[in-house]
Amino acid sequence: MKAIWTVARRELKTLFDQPTGYILLVVFLAINGFLFFRQAYLYRVASLRPMLDLLPWMFLFFVPAVTMRSFAEDVRTGTLEVVLAQPITELQLLLGKYLGQVLFIWLALALTLPIPVGLSLGADLHAGVIFAQYVGSGLLAAAFAAVGVWTSNLTRYQITAFIIGVAVMFLLILIGLDQVFVGLPPALSALARRLGVMSHFRDIARGVIDLRDAIYFVTLTAIFLSVAYLALMGSKLSHRGESLRRLRTATALIVIGLVVVNLFGRHIRGRLDLTPGRAYTLSKATRDLVGNLNDIVTLKLFASDELPPEVTMLRRDLDDLMRDYRNAGNGMLRVVVQDPAKDSAAADEVRSLGIPPVQFNIIGESELTVREGYLGIAVLHADQSETIPFVQSTNDLEYRLSSIIRGMTLEDKSTVAIYTAPADQSQQAPATYNVFRQALEQTYGIRTLSLPADSQPDEDVDVLVLIGAPDTLPSDQMDRLKAYLDRGGSAFVLADGMGRPGRQEFVFPQDVLWNELLEPYGVSIESKMVYDLLSNEQAQVPTQFGFMVASYPLWVRALSTRSASVNADLSGVFMPWPSSIDTSGATPGTVTPLFVTTQGAGVDSMMSMLAPRRQFRQDGLGVRLLAAMVNPTAVEDVEEPRGRIVVVGNTDLLRDNFLQGNPNNLAFGLNAVDWLAQDEALIGIRAKNRTPPRLVFTSSAVRDFVKHANVIGVPVILILLAVFRLVKRSRLTRRKYQRTTAPEVAA
């Protein structure tokens, strides 16, 4: 081991004793930083995924450039024979040189750490995800470095080694891309996916270190180091000798064994989920739910063996999830997997359950064919059945399955009454909340409340959802709503403080009728519209040349306080044209802020334009409260009201068209109803959020500093260190030899 480390240190020192190593690092860091921030700032997401998506392609040229000289230069200059004449074996030399190259590439990765450090100034990054992503990057670098060391053993010319290395690494990347599977049979495409690096690297980049992916990179590294050792020994042994034949046979057996381990490694279980809330692992709520079932529940997965390539890795996650459910069910939850294309009974069952086949477009070399396949789930309990016709993603699948199982096995469901303010007569496209309503139906009994037609919520209503407010309401009916809250009823109130009659381009202050209902709680929705100059979404702005994308401060990306169960695992929600909430009259200890703006938020309290390109005042900026929960029973000696409430200064939060692309909005709405109904069993499941946090800096100066410090600052510091070291080394080489001790005088 000492000899290996000595060689590795020599390799690493050699790279830094010449300008080449510094040039490679500077070019890698500058290009990586430029491309990363170009995408990260465009999408405003605090995630390393833009860098990781490009990293294999960066390594495609960077790694061969680092490794091409490892053996080729020694062979060309004749140094290799001199080194092997020392007390060191060929295997020690190979491993030492490989370790030196890997350490250099890992150092390049380490020098990108200022990127997540800078992003942490604008978001709460998840350290576990960052750690897993760098582990995946390190494994990818180790595998590619083995390829580079092998190609450097094949020739004495560095450029040739570089070209061969790029070609082999490109092939490993290529066979993992969807474009390669055009016209291939599904079985062959699935095999290619397991052999390609991209699918395994992407899985680790999610924040989950799966043992199967780790085994893939380890075996890939071992394969190329094995053939590199064969190439190294081949230059020493006789081409017709028995020793070389035995070595070739042994190497072939080792490579075959490693390929078999690689292919069958997918059956090995074990993973380290480092995502926030362990998003890829069954939550405690799910384990408690399925672990305490009183009757058999069956999960039937109808999956075709021949699925398109883009669904292959999804199937792996799906199989893992089904296995986790079965293990947590303690024998009361059964999992059945069937292929309707091969089982006539299963084909009849999917038709009776209403699971239709899904058509996939298969692009061949000269034609486009359409195939039908299945990837649906049915949940069966007693005489009940519910289906998920097609699984497009596993992001929210745990919540969907657990809510279905809970709805089937729960004897008494709470009742939720929903009131939606009538649409304005001049409004051509009235707001709809069907997605939110349908999601609630999974767990609750749903009723529609009509005001002023209905006198009051029925006695069995547990939660009242008020979306928007009517223009007027009879005083006796308002009194009955207050009485409902006084006796312990709960309400989810969403209203706007600024009105937009007919969805015009102007908004006007309006009185919020529900403020009278909220008055005993000491909270109110203000007749103001909030804008946020730092945390907002983008909108298309018409120009004379078409459209451009620009920040729209009135589309606020509200930040979560993470101070309650309903928002603990949510980074934020999207609120278009929100209003602020005043809690100055509330009893201390009863109000919990849920979502707020940044320091860069202001308010419009007069008639205002909604145009994205309008001027927004920058005086009086500060944090504004947009959503809060109130629990009067949180303090002692409470009299009235006793009911819980959640107040949001926005009715568009749960609109159907705004829920698309904003899963946190729906999760918050459902969590709020769960908390109001005092039924919080599903909150921990639903709130699992695989979406990276929003990137919101405190100022544009900080934003620019983070970018320029990484794109320019780190490379410049590296250049200065290179100049200092190389100049110092140059001076040492020019110094004349001098005796350090006086010569002895002969007697």
pLDDT along the chain (747 residues), means of 10: 86 87 93 91 83 92 91 76 72 90 95 93 86 93 94 88 93 76 60 77 83 88 91 73 80 86 71 78 85 90 75 76 87 89 87 83 54 86 88 81 85 87 62 90 87 71 91 86 88 91 76 92 94 88 71 92 87 93 92 94 89 85 95 74 90 91 89 87 68 79 91 93 85 68 59
Instruction: Give the number of other CB atoms < 10 A from CB of residue 190.
Output: 21
Output the CA torsion sign for 29, 31, 32, 33: positive
pLDDT score for 742: 60
pLDDT score for 429: 58
Note the helical H segments in 410-512. Answer: 434-440, 475-486
3-state SS class at 442: coil
- Name 376's bridge partners: 302
Instruction: Specify the DSSP element, H or E, that contains 227.
Output: helix 211-234
pLDDT score for 431: 79
Which tokens hold the place of 127? 């350290």
CA distances from 83 to 16, 140, 149, 236, 391 (A): 20, 29, 17, 13, 59
pLDDT score for 456: 65
CATH superfamily of 412-686: Class I glutamine amidotransferase (GATase) domain (3.40.50.880)
Q: What's 530-589 look like in SS3? A: EEECCCEEEEEEEECCEEEEEEEEEEEEEEECCCCCCCCCCCEEEEECCCCEECCCCCCC
Note the helical H segments in 341-451. Answer: 344-353, 397-409, 434-440
- Name 555's bridge partners: 576
Q: Which DSSP string corresponds to 303-355?
A: E-SS--HHHHHHHHHHHHHHHHHHHHTTTSEEEEEE-TTT-HHHHHHHHHHT-
> How many helices (H) and strands (E) would you count in the chain?
25, 25
Domain boundaries, the chain: 2-210, 284-402, 412-686
| Closest C-alpha among 289, 391, 274 to residue 685 | 289
d(Cα 585, Cα 519) in Å, to the nearest integer? 8
In the sheet with 498-499, reading across from the earlier edge strand, the strands are 498-499, 506-509, 608-609
d(Cα 668, Cα 688) in Å, to the nearest integer? 11
pTM for this entry:
0.74
d(Cα 269, Cα 43) in Å, to the nearest integer? 35
pLDDT score for 144: 95
Q: At the top level of CATH, which class does the domain 284-402 belong to? A: alpha beta
